[in-house]
Amino acid sequence: MNCIFCKIIKKEISSNIEYEDDQLMVFQDIHPKAPVHLLIVPKVHIDNLDQVGEDHKELLGELVWQASQLAKEKGINQKGYKLVMNCGREGGQTVDHLHLHLVGGKNVAGVL
């Protein structure tokens, strides 16, 4: 598999890792759109949201929960932040590995 996110998860490619547990890895976006722009990525490879099954419900909840915790840690929860999950090329997805963007630290109303 030639997935860049899988290579980051396996630590074959270095990245600015912000958080890691058994299910998720969080790292900084290499092309940030705001002062805080993190990618929350499941360690299991799933191409996109269209590929999730019923057995992924808990994992999807973990993605969103971890985003809320990181927003608090980064101090962007009070003013607001954005969570974005793109699906497919026409939906803006550029890496075929399910991921959630956490974006904040400035007005992000028109970002992503």
List the catalytic residues: 99
C-alpha 81/C-alpha 112 separation (Å) is 12
Amino acid at site 82 = K
Q: In this structure, what DSSP letter does residue 56 have?
A: G
Q: Is 70 helix (H, G, I), strand (E, B) or coil?
A: helix
Identify the residue whose tokens are 């607001």. 80
> Where do we find the tokens 């996110």?
5
Pairing of strands 81-84, 100-104: antiparallel
